[in-house]
Amino acid sequence: TLFVAECVLVYLDPGHTRALMAALAGQFGSAIFVNYEMVNPDDPFGQVMVRNLEARGCPLAGLEGCSDIAGQRTRFAEAGWAPSEVITMNVAYARLPHDEIKRIERIEIFDELEGWVLINDHYCLGWATRDALGLGLASIQL
């Protein structure tokens, strides 16, 4: 079973997030949880992102779970999801095959490369597994 959360958990109360993730871990002995989420909200760029979202009526109740990469991993572990891995989107992009990066860069002309890099340092991709059936889910890497 695959669970995907895309910019969801940051909007939920941390207690609800913990309960949801723990309930899923408790009900599914073998599963993968993938999370695309905000990270690093406390640096100057992150603070601007948070203020802009809140000014648009989008309060970030779950911001504490997004403090940094370690916080994202801790959230997985405390809910019973292990092992886990969490990387910034810049790291994810760098891990793409070289030919794919070149293809993307031919399609997408980056007028503001510095801005794109900054944004990618403030979003992460995390995944964690539970593998009661011994399917080898922990070996999945990006």
| pTM reported for the whole predicted model | 0.90
As a whole number of angstroms, the distance between CA 62 and CA 16 comes to 9
pLDDT for 52-83, tens place per residue? 999 999 999 999 889 999 999 999 999 999 99
5 near 81, Cβ under 8 Å?
A: no
64-70: Cβ within 8 A, 24+ apart: 64/14, 65/9, 65/10, 65/14, 65/17, 66/9, 66/10, 66/37, 66/38, 66/39, 66/40, 66/41, 67/39, 67/40, 67/41, 67/42, 68/39, 68/40, 69/39, 69/124
pLDDT for 85-100, tens place per residue? 999 999 999 999 999 9
Place of tokens 């890099």: 117
